[in-house]
């Protein structure tokens, strides 16, 4: 069921992906994000075929390089404090399916672009608000970063060795998984609901909520008494058969031999007889097994161990650095990553679809290149565009600093 705007008329598709096979072909997104969580949500939509227009601030230097949070998007710099700039933003909203923003609560309202104002312009709009703490609660208007959201959600306490402090990982779980991916999932779900109801809605996507959701399995195990202190469980480096080990060349080997058949292959790959070593089922033997496994693995290089386990179904793999992943046979077969602009690596869209394959087709956004085309879709052409630029309503990017 096509959605209807405030006028009651079904909005016309004025721009977008012309390839009908891409999953989100024809979906139009206005992206007000400037930080990783919301920006990545918009990237996910662009990867699957949505036409994403990012709204930049006037005077913001154009990155001049791919940053991993811009692929597939177009961009235009608008002075939203000018009435004409706000008018252009409203015209984009009227023609769009989704708005994504990642500011603290109240910022979009002060700009005159909050959910109430936007939904008055377009009743079918999916308005996604991506923040750390959410729109409500005592911390809603406070600053924070992934480490803070992980700490409050109980996830940070799960990560690290038993004898060490909790370890803050790179911003994957909070910013990208609990933030960007959860928001993208919510947006697509809201679009599906709109097809049945004809109405848009507001999505309150908080990273702390997403982190608690991601950790729900461990939350349940803990409540049942089946999850003990950090670094003492089977799948958090507590077990000697689920850990990383140093090799002779100071590289690392990842071992995930949880199931009996994989553990047997792992032990045999080390040159040991499973019958001659202590039972792994007695946790009291774990320190001895860890020392024995580590001593053997330190005697050979990573490439030697990689070759040793290449033919064994033992859940043993090399720990690759980022610069190495493109050369691994599995990644070569899957084309992960593949070449992007200027030879930089660019991952293929995920997941993969059999009937509607997604491919990123647009170059990186550039307001100097994109502005005229975006304004053209709103009916602004020729002298009018020049006026908007001369009056500072629409800006061209400053050189990269």
Our answer to whether residue 209 is catalytic in this structure is no
Helix (H) or strand (E) holding 127: strand 126-131
390, 371, 376, 401: which is closest to 53 by C-alpha? Answer: 371
Kindly name the residue from 79, 175, 243, 370 that is annotated as catalytic: 175
How many other C-beta atoms lie within 10 A of the C-beta of residue 329?
8
Chain-centroid distance of CA 293 in Å reads 36
Kindly name the residue from 145, 226, 249, 282 that is annotated as catalytic: 145
* Cis bond upstream, residue 351 (ω within 30): yes
The secondary structure of 6-63 as a DSSP string is: TTSSPPP--SS---TTSTTTT-EEEE---SHHHHHHHHHHHHTT-EEEEEEETTPPP-
381, 384, 365: which is closest to 373 by C-alpha? Answer: 381
Phi, psi angles (nearest 5°) of residue 390 = -65, -35
Distance between CA atoms of residues 253 and 295, nearest Å: 13
Kindly list the strands in the beta sheet with 242-246, ordered across the sheet, starting from the edge strand earlier in the chain. Answer: 242-246, 252-256, 316-318
**The tokens of 53 are what?**
């227009």
191, 203, 185, 51: which is closest to 124 by C-alpha? Answer: 191
The answer to whether 253 touches 261, Cβ cutoff 8 Å, is no
DSSP 175: I
89, 102, 88: which is closest to 35 by C-alpha? Answer: 102
Length of the chain: 401
The answer to whether 74 touches 50, Cβ cutoff 8 Å, is no
Our answer to whether residue 145 is catalytic in this structure is yes
Residues acting as catalytic residues: 145, 175
């Amino acid at each position: 069921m096509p959605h209807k705007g405030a006028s009651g008329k079904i909005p016309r598709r004025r721009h977008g992906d012309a390839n009908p096979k891409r999953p989100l072909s024809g979906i139009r997104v206005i992206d007000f994000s400037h930080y990783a969580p919301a920006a990545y949500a918009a990237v996910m939509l662009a990867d699957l075929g949505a036409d994403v227009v990012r709204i930049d601030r006037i005077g913001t230097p154009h990155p001049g390089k791919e940053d991993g949070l811009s692929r597939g998007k177009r961009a235009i710099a608008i002075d939203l404090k000018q009435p004409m700039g706000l008018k252009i933003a409203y015209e984009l909203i009227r023609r769009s399916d989704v708005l994504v923003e990642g500011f603290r609560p109240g910022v979009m309202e002060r700009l005159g672009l909050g959910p109430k104002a936007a939904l008055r312009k377009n009743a079918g709009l999916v308005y996604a608000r991506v923040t750390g703490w959410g729109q409500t609660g005592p911390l809603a208007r406070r600053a924070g970063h992934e480490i803070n959201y992980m700490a409050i959600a109980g996830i940070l306490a799960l990560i690290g060795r038993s004898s060490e402090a909790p370890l803050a990982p790179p911003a994957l779980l909070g910013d990208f998984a609990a933030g960007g991916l959860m928001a993208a999932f919510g947006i697509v779900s809201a679009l599906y609901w709109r097809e049945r109801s004809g109405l848009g809605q507001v999505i309150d996507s908080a990273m702390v909520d997403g982190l608690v959701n991601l950790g729900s399995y461990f939350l349940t195990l803990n409540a049942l008494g089946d999850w003990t202190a950090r670094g003492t469980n089977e799948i958090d480096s507590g077990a000697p058969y689920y850990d990383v080990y140093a090799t002779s060349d100071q590289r690392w080997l990842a071992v995930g031999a949880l199931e009996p058949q994989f553990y047997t292959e792992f032990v045999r790959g080390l040159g040991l007889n499973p019958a001659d070593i202590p039972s792994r089922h007695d946790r009291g033997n774990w320190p001895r097994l860890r020392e024995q496994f580590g001593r053997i693995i330190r005697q050979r290089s990573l490439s030697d161990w990689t070759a040793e386990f290449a033919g064994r179904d033992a859940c043993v793999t090399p720990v690759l650095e980022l610069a190495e992943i493109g050369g691994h046979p599995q990644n070569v077969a899957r084309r992960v990553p593949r070449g992007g602009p200027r030879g930089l690596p660019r991952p293929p869209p995920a997941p993969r679809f059999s009937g509607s394959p997604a491919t990123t087709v647009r170059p990186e956004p550039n307001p100097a290149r994109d502005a005229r085309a975006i304004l053209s879709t709103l009916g602004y052409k020729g002298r009018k565009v020049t006026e908007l630029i001369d009056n500072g309503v629409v800006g061209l990017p400053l050189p990269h600093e």
